[in-house]
């Protein structure tokens, strides 16, 4: 017999087994507890860490499409520059987070180290510019103007510049061919914002953080077509930014090119002549104020009458759109947005508003005919018009006796239109309007396209204003409180006006309609609206949407033409349109208000029509307007605080026509016509998408000797 249990285990063995069992259960309990801790207690933290091993995209922006004039001359394109960029990911791996590398880079680029470091810091709500608002995994441009020597130093010493590249890159350029900046029409680019990225997220044209997007002008309207599609390469990276694998690569597609209706040669002429007209009139004395004319801003539009296509559009003051390339400096931005520079970013052709003055009289003549006043009847053109003890004078208090509406346009007779506007106000019920009031003058203005957008393919067009009864009531509702607070009976002029407006500013008064009939008072129009209206008279009555874009050309050479579209018809019959045309022709014939500026023009070969206008603006000098057209083109020019229509704008408009048709001041052919007929065909597009661009020469303005014939003799007494 032995003392060994039946299990064959000694007590010592059993003790050991028990200890082992305890250890195993302890380990299992510990493991279970750890799993609970990892998956339940702190699961969200480790999920976040796992998510930090994610996919990042590196974007190679697409080459932006060019903007071309009607003949294929680049107005905006791309040039290859040496761009020095920094990889923030690589720099952050270095012990000092790349500080030494960036300091060395600053020395090579002749920049301050802090300026370089500021360029690559990430933007947030606390970080002032400059900073980078794109992806931190994207190479960040430090300079777009590196020299070849600087680029070689960086590339030949990679050990001194880890994470730094110097590569040729396509950068936007605005070449101003022939001196044609076309600034406000083209617009400019700047980096996309987070809000824009979110808004475009689910559209057919989403934004990437590396995108440069159009901010104004054509660059904005046709941004989707011009931008193309960037090349995107996806990498899997860990939470330290280390690349683990390349997961996907989407090839990029270059942007399409946009052919516009702008003719760079005519654009250069329009810009020069507008600027020169403003310079000239600043040397002349305003007889009303006794001061030199300020001529603080202006615009000119050249348009095809039968299509609405814009051949040239200039606005003053202007700017060089190249200041935006690579990021605008604080100094340049302040200059472009300051009151002292008079806001050159504004496109006065579509955003400048002013009373129309006498160029509005084609609307009033049309309204009169609709109201039952025959065009060829006689209406008294007296020296003044009296209403309720108040006298409304004709220009320079000159009368012409009984005249037709056509002659009223020729002489720009205010009193004829004063009387017609007053009579219609009375017929509509005066201060107690009839329920079925026709309001022919206000209605006709709206049906001429005034008081609403023309539909031009440029952003931020303003509507102008037609101060009818509805507008008067709305304006009074919005301003009554301030008028009542400011107004004072028997006070200053401004206080008295505020006092009267407080009491009855919602009423359409007789003097409102009298002033409205000659384009004065509260009416506001834009140059593009008046160009559209006068083009309609020229083409027989069709109101076209003005357009700058003419065709979109894909990188493969596929052409998508942008067809002209009409948005309405003039509210008068063909006979009235023909009568208006005859009256406007008389304006440039002997005795007309524009005749002294168009002496020698070959009216038999190139019929020309015109209407002068001088608009009064409270607190400012008069605004110059001149609206003209031939069978093919309409030109409208305005100069704020520039004086009379023919006096300030006349010489410039004449010079634009002379350049387009190739004429001397006495009407002889120079053989150098820039655009005697609208450009009907598109530029030649090759199968690879490239487009032929003809050479363009700078505009050479006429010499004083060449201008002499038109300056011979004094202007007529009435030159509006």
Query: Greater confidence, 230 or 270?
Result: 270
CA separation for the pair 281, 303 (Å, rounded): 25
Average predicted confidence (pLDDT) for the chain: 90
DSSP 669-686: B-S--S-SS---SPPPB-
Three-class SS state of 168: strand
What is residue 138's predicted lDDT score, i.e. its pLDDT?
Answer: 72
Confidence category of residue 240, pLDDT binned at 50, 70, 90: low
Mean pLDDT for the stretch of residues 142-150: 90
How high is the pLDDT of residue 375?
A: 98
Torsion of CA 271, 276, 281, 283, to 10 degrees: 150
Q: Which of 15-29, 160-174, 642-656 has the lowest mean pLDDT?
A: 15-29
Residue of higher predicted confidence among 204 and 307: 307
The structure's pTM equals: 0.87
| Top-confidence range, 77-81, 439-443, 552-556 | 439-443
DSSP 380-422: EE-SEEEETTEEEEPGGG---EEE-HHHHHHHT-HHHHHHHHH
Pairwise pLDDT comparison (269 vs 715), residue with the higher score: 269
Name the percent of the chain lying above pLDDT 90.
69
Q: Which residues pair with 627 in a beta bridge?
A: 611, 636
Helix 361-370, helix 574-586: angle, nearest 10: 140
User: For every residue of 274-291, which 3-state class applies, written as one string?
Assistant: HHHHHHHHCCCECCCCCC
**CB contact at 8 A, 648 and 642:** yes
360-394 per-position pLDDT tens digit: 999 999 999 999 999 999 999 999 999 988 899 88
Flag whether pLDDT at 485 surpasses 80.
yes
- pLDDT tens digits, one per residue of 385-396: 999 888 998 876
Residue pointed to by tokens 């001397």: 664
Radius of gyration of the chain measured on its C-alpha atoms: 35
Per DSSP bridges, beta strands 74-86 and 67-68 are: antiparallel
- Whether residue 712 has pLDDT greater than 60: no
The predicted pLDDT at position 711 comes to 46
Give the torsion through C-alpha atoms of 494, 496, 497, 501, to 10 deg.
Answer: 140
Is the pLDDT at 603 greater than 70, yes or no? yes
Residue 532 has a pLDDT of: 98
Burial (CB count <10 Å: 0-12, 13-18, 19+), residue 635: buried
Q: How confident is the model at residue 7 (pLDDT cuts 50, 70, 90)?
A: low
Question: Would you state the pLDDT for residue 88?
Answer: 87
List pLDDT tens digits, range 434-444: 999 999 999 99
For the ranges 30-44, 83-97, 195-209, the lowest mean pLDDT is seen at 30-44
Q: Indicate if the pLDDT at residue 51 is higher than 60.
A: no
Contacts of 504 (CB under 8 A, 6+ apart): none
Please say if the pLDDT value at position 457 is more than 90.
Answer: yes
Report whether pLDDT(34) > 60.
yes
pLDDT at res. 713: 42
Lowest mean pLDDT among 75-79, 238-242, 292-296, 481-485: 238-242
pLDDT reported for residue 89: 84
Most confident of 96-105, 193-202, 308-317: 308-317
Give 287: exposed, middle or buried? Use CB within 10 Å, 0-12, 13-18, 19+: exposed
């Amino acid at each position: 017999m032995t003392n060994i249990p039946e299990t064959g285990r000694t007590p010592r063995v059993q003790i050991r087994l028990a200890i082992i069992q305890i250890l195993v259960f302890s380990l299992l309990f510990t493991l279970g507890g750890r799993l609970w801790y990892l998956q339940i207690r702190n699961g969200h933290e480790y999920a976040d860490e796992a998510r930090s091993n994610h996919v990042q995209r590196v974007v190679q922006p697409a080459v932006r499409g060019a903007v071309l004039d009607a003949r294929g001359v680049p107005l905006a394109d791309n040039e290859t520059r040496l761009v020095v960029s920094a990889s923030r990911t690589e720099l952050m791996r270095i012990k000092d987070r790349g500080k030494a590398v960036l300091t060395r880079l600053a020395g090579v680029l002749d920049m301050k180290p802090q300026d370089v470091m500021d360029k690559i810091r990430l933007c947030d709500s606390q970080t002032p510019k400059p900073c980078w608002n794109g992806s931190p995994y994207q190479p960040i441009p430090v300079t777009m103007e590196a020299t070849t020597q600087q680029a070689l130093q960086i590339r030949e010493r990679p050990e001194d510049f880890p994470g730094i590249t110097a590569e040729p890159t396509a950068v936007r350029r605005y070449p101003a061919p022939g001196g044609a900046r076309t600034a406000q029409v083209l617009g400019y680019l700047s980096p996309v914002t987070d809000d824009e990225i979110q808004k475009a997220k689910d559209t057919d044209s989403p934004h990437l953080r590396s995108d440069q997007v159009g901010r104004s002008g054509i660059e904005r309207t046709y941004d989707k077509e011009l931008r193309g599609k960037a090349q995107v390469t996806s990498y899997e990276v860990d939470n330290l930014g280390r690349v683990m694998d390349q997961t996907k690569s989407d090839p990029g597609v270059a942007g399409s090119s946009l052919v516009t209706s702008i003719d760079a040669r005519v654009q250069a002429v329009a810009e020069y002549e507008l600027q020169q007209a403003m310079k000239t009139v600043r040397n002349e004395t305003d007889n009303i104020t006794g001061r030199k004319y300020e001529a603080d801003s202006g615009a000119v539009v050249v348009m095809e009458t039968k299509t609405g296509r814009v051949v040239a559009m200039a606005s003053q003051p202007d700017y060089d759109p190249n200041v935006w390339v690579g990021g605008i400096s604080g100094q340049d931005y302040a200059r472009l947005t300051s009151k002292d520079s008079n806001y050159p970013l504004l496109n006065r052709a579509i955003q400048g508003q002013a009373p129309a003055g006498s160029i509005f009289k084609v609307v009033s003549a049309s309204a009169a005919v609709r109201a039952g006043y025959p065009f060829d009847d006689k209406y008294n053109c007296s020296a003044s018009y009296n209403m309720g003890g108040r006298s409304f004078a004709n220009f320079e208090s000159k009368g012409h006796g009984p005249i037709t509406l056509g002659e009223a346009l020729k002489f720009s007779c205010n009193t004829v239109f004063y009387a017609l506007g007053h009579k219609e106000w009375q017929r509509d019920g005066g201060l107690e309007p009839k329920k079925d009031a026709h309001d022919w003058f206000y209605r006709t203005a709206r049906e001429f396209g005034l008081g609403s957008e023309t539909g031009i393919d440029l952003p931020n067009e303003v509507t102008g204003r037609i101060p009818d009864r509805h507008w008067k009531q709305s304006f009074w509702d919005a301003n009554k409180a301030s008028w009542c607070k400011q107004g004072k009976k028997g006070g200053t002029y401004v206080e008295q006006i505020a006092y009267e407006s407080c009491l009855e500013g919602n009423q359409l008064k007789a003097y409102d309609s009298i002033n409205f009939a000659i384009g004065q008072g509260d009416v506001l129009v834009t140059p593009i609206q008046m160009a559209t209206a006068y083009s309609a008279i020229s083409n027989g009555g069709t109101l076209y949407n003005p357009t700058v874009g003419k065709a979109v050309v894909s990188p493969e050479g596929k052409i998508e033409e942008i067809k002209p579209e009409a948005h309405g018809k003039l509210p008068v019959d063909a006979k009235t349109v023909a009568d208006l045309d005859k009256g406007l022709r008389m304006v440039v014939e002997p005795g007309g208000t524009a005749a002294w500026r168009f002496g020698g023009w070959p009216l038999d070969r190139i019929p020309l029509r015109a209407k002068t206008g001088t608009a009064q603006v409270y607190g400012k000098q008069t605004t110059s307007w001149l609206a003209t057209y031939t069978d093919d083109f309409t030109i409208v020019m305005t100069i704020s605080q520039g004086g009379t229509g023919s006096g300030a704008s006349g010489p410039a408009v004449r010079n634009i026509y002379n350049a387009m048709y190739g004429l001397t001041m006495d009407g002889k052919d120079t053989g150098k016509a820039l655009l005697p007929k609208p450009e009907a065909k598109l530029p030649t597009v090759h199968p690879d998408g490239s487009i032929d661009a003809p050479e363009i020469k700078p505009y050479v303005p006429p010499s004083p000797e060449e201008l002499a014939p038109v300056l011979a003799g004094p202007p007529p007494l009435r030159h509006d």
